[in-house]
Amino acid sequence: MPEFGIITSVVMPGGWHYPQLLSNGQTHRITGFSFEQLLGEMLDFRQRHPELVGGAENANIDKVRADLRTYICANFIQNCAGARSAPTRVSGIGVTNYKTPIDRAGNWLAAIGNMRLEHVDMGLATQRAQICGGCPQNVRWATPCGPCNENVEIRIQNLKANLRTPYDRSLLMCRAFGHVNEVAVWLKDTHSTSEHTPPAHCWKVQENG
């Protein structure tokens, strides 16, 4: 959904970031795990360093939103709500509603990032992981873009903490539900719905009866 003129449902290339130009001519890269966090980090940086960003007038939320929208619309048209009529270029596929695996993974991780999540026990998580590991809907989300991958990997680690199954190395992203399997297998509620028909042996299908 568009927010302040920015399409926030798709993570911008390279993850959510903003190159803050400083008064000394240098650039400071500000990053966030989500659009909302990036806004907060930008505002915090400008409020702490008004002398580097052109004064206190640039350290308010309206100015931050405007500057971020200008940057995104100038460089990443697919994230600019004002340019929605322009074709979205996604891996050479000429459709505007296609989301890449990394985008779907990142969106799901961002959506559950601030939720209070309940976990299942090790035994059930391991059973689920074994099913996902051998499932044809278990697809690779990683891309050649290192910073893009890192953005997703950090979110995965933040959510998983010390949770591990013996099948983690084979767990990727679920093409049917759009969630990251190595996180989803631990959740009582994955907060994900199928966009493609899951196979009959899918544990989510079995558990939902």
pLDDT digits (tens, 9 = 90+) for 98-145: 577 888 888 899 889 888 999 999 999 999 999 999 999 999 988 777
CB-based contacts of 54, cutoff 8 Å, min separation 6:
23
Sequence spans of domains, the chain: 2-83, 101-207
CB 109 within 8 Å of CB 162:
no
Q: How do residues 150-166 score in pLDDT, each as one tens digit?
A: 888 989 999 998 999 99
Q: Hunting for tokens 């992203």 — which residue is that?
A: 173
Tally of CB atoms within 10 A around 36: 14
The verdict on pTM exceeding 0.75 is no
3-state secondary structure of 2: strand
Beta-bridged to residue 138, according to DSSP, are 174
Q: CA distances (Å), 7 to each of 32, 82, 178, 184, in order?
A: 15, 9, 19, 25
Rounded Cα gap, residues 117 and 44, in angstroms: 28
